[in-house]
Amino acid sequence: MIGLRGVGKTVLLDRLREDAEAAGIQTIRVEAPENRSLPGILAPELRRAFLRLSRNGQAKELAQRALRGLAGFAKALKVKYRDIEVGIDIEPEPGLADNGDLEHDLQALLEVAGAAAKRAESVLAMFVDELQYVEEEQLASLITALHRTAQRSLPVVLVGAGLPQLPGKMGRAKSYAERLFDFPLIGPLNQESARRAITKPAAVHGVSVEDDALARIVKETRGYPYFLQEWGKHAWDAAERSPIRLRDVEHASVTAIAALDGSFFRVRFDRLTSLEKRYLRAMAELGAGPHRSGDIAEQLDRAVTSLGPTRSQLIVKGMIWSPSHGDTAFTVPLFDEFMKRIIPGDEWRG
């Protein structure tokens, strides 16, 4: 069971899933958006996985039992989680995952699913992106169910991806989560890897990149995988011929930043309240971070305690995280520079 965190996590999650499917593993892939329940996003994908397992002669009976369990699960929990929408034309099995308590029902459902996967000599792998948005109580139920399947040596695994606050949230949900999961951090690439991320795909198409152009891309992106993709794309579009030169990258920087400002950064900014925007602007004034909470409060001429609820809400929204006690950092690289562009000057201090 793995929990991924950092920039580039979604790309890696999808690649891991592709590799799993190529190995014959039964997979489901969901994203956990805000304001959706875990049962609501899992149920339709679990149905598809159980139907695939039911086509295996050895596992057919257990897979059909899993479908009956899912029918009872959805029916019992729909009262509490109204976003459960799954069409199952099969009668529930009384007493199987149908008592209306998520922790017990999810455990029972994944147990029978694991038994079916084991009979099929396969694995049920759940790939969940943006796992930090799952409410703590629901996250605790998922961890408990996975703990139970692990105790019974059933082949059910979770590969989750989320922002840096994910390990702490999972630890709060269930204290043994740190023992149950690995949490590899996906951060910036080193210089060599960042350069190769640009030059290798370009070389496949017979295009080279001059050293000073490559150095500028690495500098502008800080080596973060997603931004390397953006700068690489825009540099490719800006260049008229091989090799890609420094002037091409200079043009690309303008268009790449504009594209990020209009989409990647903007969608996050638009979710913020006025005070949350000022808080992040104060952080940006101090630099990339991390920063002490007291230093941020000083920028706003406010008491640290008065800004506590704002800081907490920004953590919930996935905008910031606390790498250590009293410290605050942006979850998204280069966001400090965006905040200075979108809110220039000093009016935010007022």
pLDDT at 325 > cutoff 90: no
Q: How confident is the model at residue 88 (pLDDT cuts 50, 70, 90)?
A: confident
The domain boundary, picked from 153, 169, 186, lies at 186
CATH of the domain at 36: 3.40.50
The domain boundary, picked from 186, 202, 235, lies at 186
Q: Tell whether 33 and 55 lie within a shared domain.
A: yes
Q: Tell whether 322 and 345 lie within a shared domain.
A: yes
Tens-digit pLDDT profile for residues 113-153: 999 999 999 999 999 998 988 999 999 999 999 999 999 99
Q: Tell whether 325 and 198 lie within a shared domain.
A: no
**Is 320:335 a contact under the CB 8 Å cutoff?**
no
Residues 6+ apart with CB under 8 A from 60: 54
Q: Tell whether 213 and 321 lie within a shared domain.
A: no
Q: What is the dihedral of CA 67, 68, 71, 72, to 10 degrees?
A: -140
Q: What is the dihedral of CA 107, 185, 341, 218, to 10 degrees?
A: -140
Q: Tell whether 252 and 311 lie within a shared domain.
A: no
pLDDT of residue 333: 87
SS3 of residue 207 by DSSP: coil
CATH of the domain at 222: 1.10.8.60
- Structural domain that includes position 19: 2-186
Tens-digit pLDDT profile for residues 191-208: 999 999 999 999 999 999
Q: Tell whether 258 and 281 lie within a shared domain.
A: no
Q: Tell whether 250 and 136 lie within a shared domain.
A: no
Q: Tell whether 344 and 255 lie within a shared domain.
A: no
pLDDT > 90: percent of the chain: 73
pLDDT of residue 33: 85
Tokens of 90: 């099969």
pLDDT of residue 123: 95
Q: How many structural domains compose the chain? A: 3
User: Please, what sign has the CA dihedral across residues 278, 281, 286, 289?
Assistant: positive
pLDDT at 85 > cutoff 90: no
Q: How confident is the model at residue 324 (pLDDT cuts 50, 70, 90)?
A: confident
C-alpha gyration radius of the chain: 23
**101 half-sphere exposure, CB direction, 13 A CA radius:** 8
pLDDT of residue 221: 94
DSSP secondary structure letters along 178-204: HHH-B--EE-PPPHHHHHHHHHHHHHH
Tens-digit pLDDT profile for residues 237-280: 999 999 999 999 999 999 999 999 999 999 999 999 999 999 99
